[in-house]
Homo-oligomer: A and B are copies of this chain.
Amino acid sequence: MCRSTLGHAFDSARLAARLMKRERLVVRSGGRRGLFDLTGACERFVSGEGDGLLSVFVPHATAGVVVMELGAGSDTDLEAALDRLLPRDDRYRHRHGSPGHGADHVLPLLAPPSVTVPVVDGRLALGTWQSIALLDPNADNDERSVLLGFIPG
- Chain A positions within 8 Å of B, measured between CB atoms, are 1-3, 5-6, 9-10, 12, 15, 18-22, 51-53, 55, 57-62, 66-69, 72-74, 76-78, 80-82, 85-86, 91-95, 102, 105-106, 108-118, 120, 125-127, 129-130, 135, 145, 147, 149-153
Contacts and interface: CB of A to CB of B under 8 A. Distances in A.
A129 B19 contact: no
Contacts of A102: 73-74, 77
Given A67-B113, A77-B94, A77-B106, 12 more contacts: A1-B2, A2-B2, A5-B6, A59-B127, A61-B68, A68-B105, A69-B105, A73-B94, A78-B106, A81-B106, A110-B110, A118-B149
B19 A78 contact: no
A89 B1 CA distance: 71
A80 to B, nearest CB: 8
Contact of A127 (B15, B61, B80, B112): B61
Please provide the 9 A-B residue pairs with the shortest distance between their CB atoms, ordered closest to farther: A20-B153, A73-B93, A59-B127, A73-B94, A74-B105, A61-B129, A68-B108, A61-B69, A2-B2
